[in-house]
Amino acid sequence: MRSQDLSAALLELQQQHRFRQRHIVETPQSCAMIIEGKRYIAFASNDYLGLANHPQLIEAAREAMLRWGVGGGASHLVAGHFAIHQEAEEALAAFCGREAALLFSSGYAANQAVITSLVGRGDAVFADKLNHASLNDACLLSRATFRRFRHNDLQQLEQLLASTPARTRLIAVDAVYSMDGDEAPLKKLQDLADKYDAWLYIDDAHGFGVLGDGRGSAVEQGLHGERLIYMATLGKAAGVAGAFVAASSQLIAWLVNTARSYIFTTAQPPALAAAVLASLRLMADEPWRRHRLQQSVSRLREGLSEVNFPLMASRTPIQPIIIGRNEQALLLAAQLKERGFWVPAIRPPTVPEGTARLRLTLSAAHTQDQLEALLDCMVQAMQP
């Protein structure tokens, strides 16, 4: 892109209803937010358990800041690996039933770390078509042969695995698909990984904290083994920031030694590791959050199906409504916004062309009244 072409390119984005803008949020993350001066009931965040603004997380971070300061100051391998990071890693590994865990500053960095340090030129990576963009970027960066199979199509995946000449193979999937809310068939994927001697890498950004008593999709489905690598982010249900990879001790040692997005970046602020520990305690001690979330998912689906909104096959807090055309999705989101509901319209390239949607997300913090109000409003918005 040359500088003299920018204005025409931006105009084109606008004409395609693809131009994106940020909106200034004036309150903490919650279900009732003030955005650009107006109060909304929000169905838009990935703070599924309502922990992002929880007093215990705030207190843990505050105390840790007094103890450890603010900045990490250096990378983990130089002088930035604090005792509190270590403690959080051990707690995360134990929580997920794995030998070891490694903290990252973001899920984006964690995906890059795992994939680029395990596969390279001459190897092969097999990825679901609907995988998160950060996984796709990591696959491209790895320079391995990058084969994408149709969403959840295990037959196609098996054909690809059976015919690959690559010695090192890696299957990468989202456990819960971020824009659809449906799930990968993890058990069957593990069988294929075992049969074809491939790594199975699971990105559980949206399952951790929510599924398997909070311990995530892999625990829920009883997956284990040396070939299984589990990743989850800590900025969603955990309510903090960053991510972790949980796997065998050997695999973690390999990442520490070879993953460029781990080695060449500053350690996450230590106070965040303390907040992660507080979050893990709440996930374990307060199962009511997940129960309430599940009730809201059921109620929302029931209410929307009564008025014939097309629902996706999702039992997770991600409940998208496919609209189709970009401007249609934007219009519906604008109508909801007008009535005080913050619901994002998701458009290409985040989702495939022609599948623009409203992406409703639920939180344990939503009240029954908030949910009923949204349902009433959705019904009204559909009236001609």
Ligand X SMILES: *Cc1c(COP(=O)(O)O)cnc(C)c1O
Q: Which of 93, 243, 277, 282 binds ligand X (CB under 6 A)?
A: 243
108 is in an annotated binding site: yes
Comparing CB distances to ligand X, the nearer of 166 and 297 is 297
Site string for ligand X, 116-135 (x = CB under 6 A): ----------------x-x-
Comparing C-alpha atoms, which of 180, 207, 199 is closest to residue 358? 180
* Calpha distance 309→322 (Å, rounded): 9
Question: Is 54 known to be catalytic?
Answer: no
DSSP-based three-state secondary structure for 32: strand
Question: Is 279 known to be catalytic?
Answer: no
Q: Specify the residue for token string 């395609």.
A: 16
50 is in an annotated binding site: no
Comparing CB distances to ligand X, the nearer of 142 and 370 is 142
Q: Is 279 exposed, middle or buried (0-12, 13-18, 19+ CB in 10 A)?
A: buried
Position 146 contacts ligand X (CB under 6 A): no
Position 205 contacts ligand X (CB under 6 A): yes
Query: Which stretch, 35-43, 198-206, 334-342, 370-378, contacts ligand X (CB under 6 A)?
Result: 198-206
Least distance CB 174 / ligand X (angstroms) = 5
Catalytic residue of the set 142, 178, 217, 363: 178
Query: Which stretch, 122-130, 201-209, 288-296, 312-320, contacts ligand X (CB under 6 A)?
Result: 201-209
Comparing CB distances to ligand X, the nearer of 106 and 190 is 106
Comparing CB distances to ligand X, the nearer of 172 and 377 is 172
* Calpha distance 200→179 (Å, rounded): 21
Comparing CB distances to ligand X, the nearer of 174 and 180 is 174
Least distance CB 92 / ligand X (angstroms) = 14
Question: Is 129 known to be catalytic?
Answer: no
* Calpha distance 344→49 (Å, rounded): 19
206 is in an annotated binding site: yes
* Calpha distance 296→327 (Å, rounded): 28
DSSP-based three-state secondary structure for 203: strand
DSSP-based three-state secondary structure for 103: strand
* Calpha distance 25→358 (Å, rounded): 20
Structure tokens at 71: 């900045």
Position 174 contacts ligand X (CB under 6 A): yes
151 is in an annotated binding site: no
Comparing C-alpha atoms, which of 267, 304, 261, 287 is closest to residue 108? 261
Paired strand residues for 124: 145, 169
Within 13 Å and on the Cβ side, how many CA atoms surround 308? 2
Comparing CB distances to ligand X, the nearer of 42 and 205 is 205
Query: Which stretch, 75-83, 88-96, 203-211, 358-366, contacts ligand X (CB under 6 A)?
Result: 203-211
Residues 50 to 109: which contact ligand X by CB under 6 A? 106-108
Comparing C-alpha atoms, which of 107, 35, 55 is closest to residue 279? 55
Phi, psi at residue 40, to the nearest 5°?
-130, 150
Q: Is 151 exposed, middle or buried (0-12, 13-18, 19+ CB in 10 A)?
A: middle
Q: What residue numbers does the annotated binding site cover?
A: 20, 107-108, 132, 178, 206, 233, 350
- Residues forming the active site: 178, 206, 236
- Binding residues (CB under 6 A) for ligand X: these are 106-108, 111, 132, 134, 174, 178, 203, 205-206, 233, 235, 243
Q: What residue numbers does the annotated binding site for pyridoxal 5'-phosphate cover?
A: 107-108, 178, 206, 233
